Amino acid sequence: MAQLTYREAVARGIAQEMARDENVVLLGEDVAKAGGVFKATVGLFEQFGPKRVLDTPISEQAILGAAMGAAMTGLKPIAEIMFADFLGVCYDYIANEFPKTRYMTNGQVSCPLVVRCGNGGGARFGAQHSQSVENWCMQFPGLKVVSPSSPVDVIGLLAAAVRDPDPVVFLEHKSLYAVRGEVPDGEILDTLGTAKILRPGGDASILALGMMVPRSLQAAEALQERHGISCEVIDVRSLVPLDTQCILGSVARTGRVFTVEENPRQLGWGSELVSIIADEAFYDLDGPAVRITTPNIPLPAADALEDLAIPSVDRIVEMIRRSLTA
């Protein structure tokens, strides 16, 4: 058992899959000798060489275009888009090309690739470099969307994404890169489409993703200690495919549900989950589903304003307490 940071887990996960399969290649801006702008690919160039770890020009369209061509001809590329916000620069591939390849070729051509991105706020990068874009990606049939919150999940879900026959957007939270966690020795392989119950509880279900997972766990502890409210915390992990069985089972046990979302409120991922819960578990609910979100605003760069916009532990605690005791 080792203690790894989230960023070290990214490098270990990529190395695990590159060592296992010679068709896995890594490409992106500064991913080779520099080890990535977030230092999440350190050591891979030295281990696997320039034919498998490739620096690219500063062109998101070129990165994803090359990755798509490589995937269609037998390789398994891992393409890094440095900031998830920059998916907007190459959105045609995300929206129109990757997800539709298998369908439009009647299964003759697949597109087994992973797009890694630094996602989310909290690091004072401003409105164009701090967005949580998981809701941008989850709307396209054929595209899978994953966002791990711990080092061990980074490795296991990355391995599952690389081995999947379809394109996966893998969202790494920038503010979690320095977080440490225990990681077992040996190969780690997880399953896409599975959520994790990180904390059992009986009064309410909290559904969270990315950086909101540790904040939700802290909020659940505070709610128990201060108010005697027992919350079950679920790390959604995978938005597409979605573990509806885990989520609906939790709602049936607790009768109340709260989503904690970093992406803006308008059309956030929680709106889809709440819609599913309303359709399939309405009579299990003892009160309305509540979404705790970032407002529908460009994210500020100023530290106090960014902290005010993104759901904090205190805001999560207060909204859940107020909803359950009203």
Please give the positions annotated as active site.
129
d(CA 72, CA 66): 10
Q: Distance between CA 246 and CA 231 in Å, rounded? A: 15
Identify how many contiguous H helices and E strands the chain contains and give both numbers.
12, 14
Those residues whose C-beta lies under 8 Å from the C-beta of residue 14, and which sit 6 or more positions away, are: 24, 26, 41, 44, 78, 158
In this structure, which amino acid lies at residue 229?
Answer: I
User: How many angstroms separate the CA atoms of 31 and 55, rounded?
Assistant: 6
Residue type, 315: R
Under 8 Å between Cβ of 58 and 29: yes
Long-range contacts of 21-25 (CB under 8 A, 24+ apart): 21/76, 21/162, 22/52, 23/74, 23/75, 23/76, 24/52, 24/75, 24/76, 24/77, 24/78, 24/162, 25/51, 25/52, 25/53, 25/54, 25/70, 25/75, 25/76, 25/77, 25/78
Query: What amino acid is encoded at 288 in this protein?
Result: P
Q: Using an 8 Å Cβ cutoff, are 146 and 237 in contact? A: yes
Q: Strand ranges (DSSP E) for the chain?
A: 2-5, 24-28, 53-55, 76-83, 114-119, 144-146, 168-173, 180-183, 196-199, 204-208, 231-235, 238-240, 257-264, 290-294
The residues, any chain, with a CB within 8 Å of residue 321's CB and separated by 6 or more, are 223, 227, 229
